A = this chain, B = another copy of it.
Amino acid sequence: MVRDTKGKIIASAANVAVTRGVQNMTMDAVAEEAGISKGAVFYHFDSKHDLLLSMVQALTDVTDSTIADVQSKDTEPGSWLRGFLKASLTNTTEDLGPVGRLSVAFLTAAANDTSLLEPMNRRQPAWREAINQSGLDPVQAQIIRLAADGLWINDVMGVPVLDAAERTAVIERLQAMTREKAKPDQKGNQA
């Protein structure tokens, strides 16, 4: 691939989804945004379904590589979760970064057809494993991950769940929680 047109199309599609709204993410709009013809888009992707699938794949790839990046410099317990937090929260509500743009595409995919989430679903067993092996109490670790998901989805949808101060406090607390070692028995319900 001399000129990475495929990558450009994916980025353009994500961009259209954010700027013009997901309902306007037509193949024509994607082509226009990428500065190529519609035919060229179909040259690279068999169908819109195929494009959407690639976008979801791109999101999981970005997430995985962010985590790997963090873990290459942080081998303490909980590093996987710190990577996951970083990947989920790189986007502020306005002015979404590349990950945020892809996230919107992810939502699109989910809404249009759940089967498009295959690339994401395929990563779940590995992620669950990573979370359970993170060195933290597994239940607490899952909760951290779910809270990150919750914050992320609300961001992507533009639902104002938290104000700026609350947001900062929540993120700091989640980060602090990734540094709490497993406590053998806190409330009497440890298996």
6 A-B interface contacts by CB (under 8 A): A22-B113, A128-B161, A146-B151, A149-B153, A149-B154, A172-B189
Cβ distance A122 to chain B, nearest Cβ, rounded Å: 10
Q: Are A128 and B166 in contact, with the CB atoms below 8 A?
A: yes
Segment at the B interface, from A37-45, A71-79, A135-143: A135-143
**B124, B159, B169: the one within 8 Å of A120 (CB):** B159
A residues sitting closer than 8 Å to B (CB atoms) are: 21-23, 107-108, 110-114, 117, 120-121, 124-125, 127-128, 138-140, 142-143, 145-154, 157-163, 166, 169-170, 172-174, 176, 180, 187, 189
- Minimal beta-carbon separation of A142 from chain B (angstroms): 5
Residues of B within 8 A of A23 (CB): 112-113
Q: How many copies of this chain are found per oligomer?
A: 2
- Residues on B with C-beta less than 8 A from A127 are 161
Closest to A170 in B: B142
Please determine whether A22 and B112 come into contact, CB atoms closer than 8 angstroms. Answer: yes
Residues of B within 8 A of A187 (CB): 176, 180
**In the complex, are the beta carbons of A117 and B150 less than 8 A apart?**
no
**Residue from the set A124, A140, A146, A166 with the largest chain B CB neighbour count within 10 Å:** A146
A108-B111, A111-B112 are known contacts. Are A124 and B160 too (CB-CB below 8 A)? yes
Q: Bound state CA distance, A142 and B172, in angstroms? A: 13
Q: Are A143 and B173 in contact (CB under 8 A)?
A: yes
Which B residue's beta carbon lies closest to that of A127? B161
